[in-house]
Amino acid sequence: MTYFWNHFFDALIPICICVVLPTLVIWLIGRVKQNETNRKAEIMLKALDNGAKIDSDFFKSPSGSKTIKERLLGRLTGACITGLLGVAVLAVAVYMGYRLDWSSNDDVIIFTTLFGGILLAIGIALFIVYFCGKKMLAKEIAAEEKQNVEGK
């Protein structure tokens, strides 16, 4: 019976870290956003009751003010980071395989290779999204830059 409990507690820590912790983080982020919206709604209702003028931009999120070019550059940054991480992890996997002469079917080498391949694939996909988005949204980016220059 102690064998069961030992393995149960050994499995409990990774489950808490991989399942419970991310769930709590997501719940807390949602709760903070909901509280912020509720506070803004209360302020709006009091303003309506007092007959004050209502600002239409009150509920806009500040993160929505990024330009198209800034969002594309964010994707390019993500592509560079994930692509380089993928290449680095794959290099570590090749080095580990070389050191072990590829003779053993080591799970660490297999996992490292898969993880590096996934990171590299995500990086390549983000590069494709960046270049396609840059090509497709060239007119919108030019119009947005022209509007920013005229607005200043």
Q: Where are the domains of the chain?
A: 1-58, 65-152
Judge whether 65 and 74 are in contact, CB under 8 Å: no
Instruction: Give per-residue burial for 103-140: e unless 16+ CB within 10 Å, then b.
Output: eeeeeebeebbebbeebbebbeebbeebeebbeebeee
Task: Using alpha carbons, list the distances in angstroms from residue 48 to 53, 55, 70.
Answer: 8, 11, 36
Residue with tokens 């980071």: 81
- Tens-digit pLDDT profile for residues 8-27: 777 777 777 888 888 999 99
Nearest to 136 by CA among 75, 83, 65: 75
- Tens-digit pLDDT profile for residues 91-131: 998 888 888 776 666 777 888 889 999 999 999 999 999 99
Q: Taking the complete model, does pTM exceed 0.95, yes or no?
A: no
**Six-digit token pair at 119?**
């990171």
